[in-house]
Amino acid sequence: MDQRICIKFCVKNKIKCADAFRMLTVAYGEATLDRSNVYRWYKMFSEGQEDVNDGERAGRRFAYSFLRLQGRDYIFRDFVHISNALIWGTILGYISFSFHQVNDRLHVLYSDLFENNAECRRKNRSILVCQRITKAEQRKQYIWIIM
């Protein structure tokens, strides 16, 4: 935004766009806007635009996908949390252990799923657990491991 204010200053003082770009390059170094953006802002300010803030972005608006789980709305970007909630719901639905008892026994599940590979366990735990435990044919097998 500071650079846009400088460009607006150059337009008001009738400094050419190429000179304005050179001054911005000296002042901001590598953080300078690229040449096309400097020329675009210079043109907008010379045509009478006063606002230095970005306008509405072009393109399609991002639409959130909602998932309703047990009466609560979740946004799709929270997929990891949803998958963990689904895993816990599945586990607690099949067995009547408390949360802490299941948590203690999940170490057996994780070591079986990831074959004691610590790096894989750190990176892919949620994804692989979700993929493997939600398959219907494997679900009971892993529930037995937890029990």
Question: What 8-state DSSP symbol labels residue 135?
Answer: S
Q: What is the pLDDT along the chain (147 residues), one digit of tens a residue?
A: 688 888 888 888 888 988 888 888 888 888 888 888 888 888 888 888 777 776 665 554 444 444 454 555 544 444 444 455 556 566 555 555 555 555 555 555 555 554 545 555 455 544 445 444 444 444 444 444 443
Interatomic CA distance for residues 54 and 3, integer angstroms: 13
For residues 98-113, one letter each, b for 16 or more C-beta atoms within 10 angstroms of the residue's C-beta and e for the rest, the string is eeeebeeebeebeeeb
Report the candidate in 34, 55, 57 with the shortest Cα–Cα distance to residue 44.
Answer: 55
Please give the pLDDT value at position 4. Answer: 84
In the block, residue with structure tokens 């006063």: 50
Interatomic CA distance for residues 72 and 128, integer angstroms: 25
Tokens, residue 109: 């599940």
Please give the pLDDT value at position 6. Answer: 86
Q: Where are the domains of the chain?
A: 1-51
**Contacts with 15 (C-beta within 8 Å, 6 or more apart), sequence order:** 23
Interatomic CA distance for residues 38 and 17, integer angstroms: 8
